[in-house]
Structure 1
Amino acid sequence: MQYLLMIYQNEAEFGKMDAAARKELTAEYGAFTQSIIQSGHFKAGDGLQPTTTATTVRVRDGKTLTTDGPFAETREQLAGYYLVEAKDLDAALSIAARIPGARNGSVEVRPVMVYD
């Protein structure tokens, strides 16, 4: 079964990191990504640009409305994701717990809908 692992972090806190800390975090993510590629769990994944680059789209009464930024103000913002293949929720949770961002942010784990 496939699971989407959504990584949330506080963008302001991330912005305060110095270059050395960012380099170390990038290396951790690289090692984690390689480990799930090698184990066969990896399907897709990427980091996202900051919420200041986001545009929200809504369609109301047949009209497309766009606004700058994310839909809601939150303490943590969606920073990236992994799409993984796991035998069950427990296996997906185990993978999510190894994501470096889980230490200071959060990772939401959701099963991907299967259509017959």
Structure 2
Amino acid sequence: MAKFMLLIHGDEARWDAMTPAEWAAHGAAHQAFNDAAGARVLGGEQLEASSTATTVRSGSDSQLITDGPFLETKEVLGGFYLIEAADLDEVLKLVDLLPEVHASHSGVEIRPVVTRG
């Protein structure tokens, strides 16, 4: 089995504007994903707002630390799952259950995890 990181990107302003009913539906969709994936989900969390992020890069003589995400973009990383699956086709079937795939302001990036040795 291979590991895949699912990176959930979206428009924070749209997430912030969601009503309690919309959040309930959103949460139910994520629960359906977790139920379908079962033990293949190795981890995952919703992330705090991008304004709480800190980016660390190499400066000329020391670390360069900045507040927030490094790039100024409309879409930000809002959460992630780490899953185990046989192949990308299996991942694509599961990802279709995530609400971010079907919303006009968000999406899910699928990245295979490097396995060495």
TM-score, with length taken from structure 1: 0.89
Residue 73 of structure 1, CA deviation: 1.4
Residue 29 of structure 1, CA deviation: 1.4
Counterparts of residues 75-86 of structure 1 (less than 5 Å): 75-86=74-85
Counterparts of residues 48-67 of structure 1 (less than 5 Å): 48-67=47-66
Would you say 1:115 and 2:116 are equivalent positions? yes
SS at match of 2:110: strand
What value does the CA root-mean-square deviation take over the aligned residues?
1.3
CA offsets per residue over residues 92-111 of structure 1, 9 Å max, x none? 12222221211111110110
Which has the higher mean CA deviation after the structures are superposed, 47-56 or 90-99? Answer: 90-99
Structure 1 gap segments, 5+ residues each: none
Aligned amino acid, residue 49 of structure 2: P
The residue number in structure 2 matching 1:32 is 33
The residue number in structure 1 matching 2:42 is 43
SS at match of 1:17: coil
The residue number in structure 2 matching 1:95 is 94
Structure 2 gap segments, 5+ residues each: none
Distance across 1 between alignment mates of 2:61 and 2:116: 27
